[in-house]
Amino acid sequence: AIILALLYEWVERKFKARLQNRIGPLYTGWHGILQPFADIIKLWSKEDIVPAEADKTMFTIAPMLALASQLISFLIIPVVSVYALVHFEGDLALLAFLSTVYLIAAGIGGLSSNNRFSAIGAGRSIIQHVGYEIPLLFIYASAAFIARSWSLSKIVEYQVKTGVPLIAFLGIGFGISIISLLAFIERIPFDIPEAETEIVAGWLTEFSGKKYAFFWLADDVQLLVGAGITAALFLGGPCGPVPGIPIVDEILYVIYFIIKTVVIVLILASIEASSARYKITQAVSGFWKYLTPLSILQLLIVFALRLYGVI
């Protein structure tokens, strides 16, 4: 998961660079493909500084908690089969909970730093999460209602059996999920919790060395997990239009998974490269005024489709 996440970081950086008339990573490996790996190695070799006034226990736990929550999330996403390595009824709700665990880690990291900029960043992260989580849960509920299951694997299985990806019924939901995913991974225009022009690096300000490397890896795995969930909910996960041969099924599943998630990463990078940062008030009011009513509308559309026997 970590290797794939670092490769996705390279794809994202190269694509955004091209959109902004830059080159991006170039020298480390083929077209700079090893640059994310080099960055992590460099961070691991740097001095690990803990502020004198910080809560050292919480300051140390936060990065590990952030990375662990995302690695566990990846186990619930179907990659080499219709069914994930860990799947059960209600695992979609667990994924929503684990995203909150990452938020808790960010909050702990910011508040335990004993730095005013970190505290502001942590507060912004919590407020932003509250804003996008409600509409996103409505979209999860819409997908679960169609597939008659709160299991991500069962939702993928439903799309395979019917031969119709849920994006056909959840077009509004797909758009909301993309916007919410940008807020979840705190990328432009929703990088408000770590706005470098306002609060240095937000809740990450005091982290360095190995601890910062843990957060860096958690951020990359977070991108992979978010893209994986979106692909599973709307695009059939790792399943493709061509049935696989039993011997090479797993290879085809991985190929389809990578293609779909890379497309989602490129969509995210396109929005990020062409947008400006919102204020926290603009972001939260936008989530509540627009995304929440639209997500409720999407759920009502699903109810209507179910009522008239379309799904």
The confidence score (pLDDT) of residue 152 equals 93
The confidence score (pLDDT) of residue 248 equals 61
The confidence score (pLDDT) of residue 232 equals 94
The confidence score (pLDDT) of residue 204 equals 79
The answer to whether 35 and 10 have CB atoms below 8 angstroms apart is: yes
Q: Express each pLDDT in 184-235 by its tens digit.
A: 888 888 887 777 677 777 777 888 888 888 888 988 899 999 999 999 999 9
The confidence score (pLDDT) of residue 74 equals 94
The confidence score (pLDDT) of residue 242 equals 63
Residues of the chain scoring pLDDT < 70: 196, 242-249
DSSP string over the chain: -HHHHHHHHHHHHHHHHHHTT---S-SSSGGGTTHHHHHHHHHHHS-----TTS-HHHHHHHHHHHHHHHHHHHHTS-SSSSS-SS--TTHHHHHHHHHHHHHHHHHHHHHHTT-HHHHHHHHHHHHHHHHHHHHHHHHHHHHHHHHT-S-HHHHHHHHHHHS--GGGT-HHHHHHHHHHHHHHTT-TTS-GGG-HHHHTTGGGTT--HHHHHHHHHHHHHHHHHHHHHHHHHHS-TT--SSPPPGGGHHHHHHHHHHHHHHHHHHHHHHHHHT--PPPHHHHHHHIIIIIHHHHHHHHHHHHHHHHTT--
The confidence score (pLDDT) of residue 246 equals 55
The confidence score (pLDDT) of residue 140 equals 94
Q: What is the pTM of this model?
A: 0.90
Fill in the amino acid letter for 25.
P
